[in-house]
A and B are shown apart, each in its own frame.
Chain A
Amino acid sequence: MNLIVFPVILYLLSAFLIALIWKEDEKLSGIACLSFSILVFISVILLGKYVFLNERIIYFVGNWQIPIGITLMVDALSYIFLVVVNFVLPVICWFSNSYMRKYTKPGYFYILFSLISAGLNGILISMDFFNIYVFLEISSIASYILVAFGLRTEELEASLKYTMIGFIGSTLILIGIGLILGKTGTLNISDFMSAILNINKIQLLFILGLFISGFALKTALFPFHFWLPDAHSLAPSPVSAILSGLFIKVTGFYMLVRIITNIFIIFPESKIIIMALGLISMIFGSLMAIDQIDIKRTYAYSSISQIGYCALALGIGGYYGYLGAILHFIYHSFSKSLLFLNSGAIEYRYKTTKIEELKGLSDKMPYTTATGSIGMLSISGIPPFGCFWSKIIIIIAAIKSFYYGIAFICVIVSVITLGYFLKLKRNIFDSKGEGEKFEEVNFNLLMPMVILSILIFFGGLILLPEVKIYLDKAVGVMQNFSYIQIGER
């Protein structure tokens, strides 16, 4: 049962030990960070037995009961997020072991990498408002620093803009927590839920509004998305893989799921707000992604539109809506991280990510082209690959709850996504341009991409009955779990 705290402690320990001992040595710090992240993945797998045995684990830090101490809780939904996050992190760490040689002092990169992962895992397992805020702050500050890791002029300015907007988001969340503390006096979510009954609805609406705007700002939904293209496209590739693959999903989407489906249940109309925001950001992201000149900016805009997909699926609700949201989160994390690692491999050889300077990669870099095209086809929803299944389920959910217009828009947006990804694929991979060609990247850069593409290729297997049980449990959590049930027992 103590395994629940291991994801956070092991990453913190790895950050402090790398800072103490291996900071100057490039190779050793990379290997240490990789071994710690693999250890965390193993401990998360071992945790699974408990989670699915007795429905959820509740862990009192320091043996203090509900309202006094901090309680940690992992149920089916947060367990799926934990598994996906802690599978992609070692893969990215393996990729950055050889990619970060281009930067000076990569030891600091591994420290910040383990701090971001500690923050993400800390958010996923905690059940206490202020605890979520503190771990949100750790991962946000570590991501502000990592965006500016290359110390070039654009990266510094993108990091400045990202810090300002991230600070506003965190302050909104902190004011919401302050209001909760003021009115109910407790910080524990289940204690807050049991104290919720004697608060008037206007107070709750105000707190819900603050939380939704704060977390929507962190997940770059439509009105607050303008920081994302600069931050994600200028950061080093493994960092933008973490940011748009995992960071905006855990700090933004996971918290929105918790707040809308598990905490503020008495406001079902908040789902409509999220659906509207998701719809607009879906359309806006794909339209903006069409005429980009840089590979990573296209990927950044496409991740805005895919986050819109997840928010839309969350807003539609019902069994299929929630299932589509979780599946789209899983597949989009895999394929978007794959795409950013792919652009990193291209940049590793060609020193540029401008589309017109990259011609005819397929003849000299066959594996990079193969994995890159698998990622692109999967996000645009081609049948055998991953995101096709989640998009189909989201469209079914829209049709089942009679939103025919939304289902139609989903189809159009996935067609637009297919459009700009095919354009990208044709220009970079298949075109027969001249110019000097570089040979394939070495093994260390290639294997992470191959692993992710294999996972996407066999994406359909997740819908087999025996694997689907875990997904149904997570959907069940989203449908009828409320934190108040923990307080009763």
Chain B
Amino acid sequence: MIVYIFIAFMFFIGIYGMMAKKNIIKMIIGMNIIGYAVNLFFIVLGYKSGGIQPILVPGMDIKEFVERAVNPLPQALVLTSIVIDLSIICFLAALSIRIYEKYGTFDLEKIRRLKG
């Protein structure tokens, strides 16, 4: 139960960094933290207390391996969502470079050319 509270704290810190900050790079950092919190949430869902990693070591018996191993499904999903977050950050870095070239600053207040 405590683990979920910590993950929720990280998630809301990320959302705060994304919403309340006016600097584009700070927003990207906030998105990064949200991505970390959601990935951590997935892996924590698949944890079995005292479980071993889902990779068979030569000396181990298969029956006992299947009993004690951690749930491998969330780990397969986190592999995908880590790389999705990396590609969004890569795209946003290029976008922020481009916006810096046009506006001369990362600050969103001066960028408010679009109304509403």
Contacts and interface: CB of A to CB of B under 8 A. Distances in A.
Interface of A: 130, 134, 137, 141, 144-145, 148, 151, 153-154, 156-161, 163-164, 167-168, 171, 174-175, 177-178, 181-182, 185, 187, 226, 229-230
> Is the contact region of chain A dominated by helix, strand, or loop, or is it mixed?
helix
Contacts, number: 72
Contacts of A182: 45
Nearest to A134: B80
A138 B70 CA distance: 30
A156 B95 contact: yes
A157 B111 contact: yes
A221 to B, nearest CB: 17
B12 interface: no
| B interface residue count range (under 10 / 10 to 19 / 20 to 34 / 35 or more) | 20 to 34
A174 B81 contact: yes
A130 B77 contact: yes
A181 to B, nearest CB: 6
Nearest to B102: A153
Contacts of A178: 38, 41-42, 45, 74
Contact of B113 (A141, A148, A153, A159): A153
A161 B111 CA distance: 11
B80 A164 contact: no
A325 B37 CA distance: 38
Contacts of A158: 114
A157 to B, nearest CB: 6
Nearest to B24: A160
Interface in B34-78: 34-35, 38, 41-42, 45-46, 71, 73-74, 77
B45 A156 contact: no
A167 B31 contact: yes
9 nearest CB pairs, A to B: A182-B45, A153-B102, A156-B99, A137-B84, A230-B114, A178-B42, A156-B98, A178-B41, A157-B114
> Is the contact region of chain B dominated by helix, strand, or loop, or is it mixed?
helix
A71 B73 CA distance: 16
Given A134-B80, A153-B113, A160-B92, 6 more contacts: A154-B114, A156-B99, A178-B38, A178-B45, A178-B74, A181-B42
Contacts of A156: 95, 98-99, 102
B45 A141 contact: no
Contacts of B80: 130, 134
B41 A163 contact: no
Contact of B73 (A148, A167, A181): A181
A128 to B, nearest CB: 11
A201 B5 CA distance: 22
Contacts of A157: 99, 111, 113-114
Contact of B87 (A130, A141, A160, A168): A141
A166 to B, nearest CB: 9
Most buried by A among B24, B35, B92: B92
B91 A164 contact: no
A168 B19 CA distance: 10
Contacts of B31: 164, 167
Contacts of B42: 178, 181
Contact of A185 (B34, B73, B102, B116): B73
Contacts of B41: 175, 178
Contacts of B35: 171
Nearest to B35: A171
Contacts of A137: 84
Contacts of A153: 102-103, 113
Contacts of A174: 38, 81
Most buried by A among B34, B84, B87: B84
B22 to A, nearest CB: 12
16 contacts: A130-B77, A153-B103, A156-B99, A157-B99, A157-B111, A159-B95, A160-B99, A177-B77, A178-B38, A178-B42, A181-B77, A182-B45, A185-B71, A185-B73, A187-B77, A229-B116
A100 B95 CA distance: 21
Contact of B74 (A159, A167, A181, A230): A181
B88 interface: yes
A153 B71 CA distance: 47
A159 B73 CA distance: 34
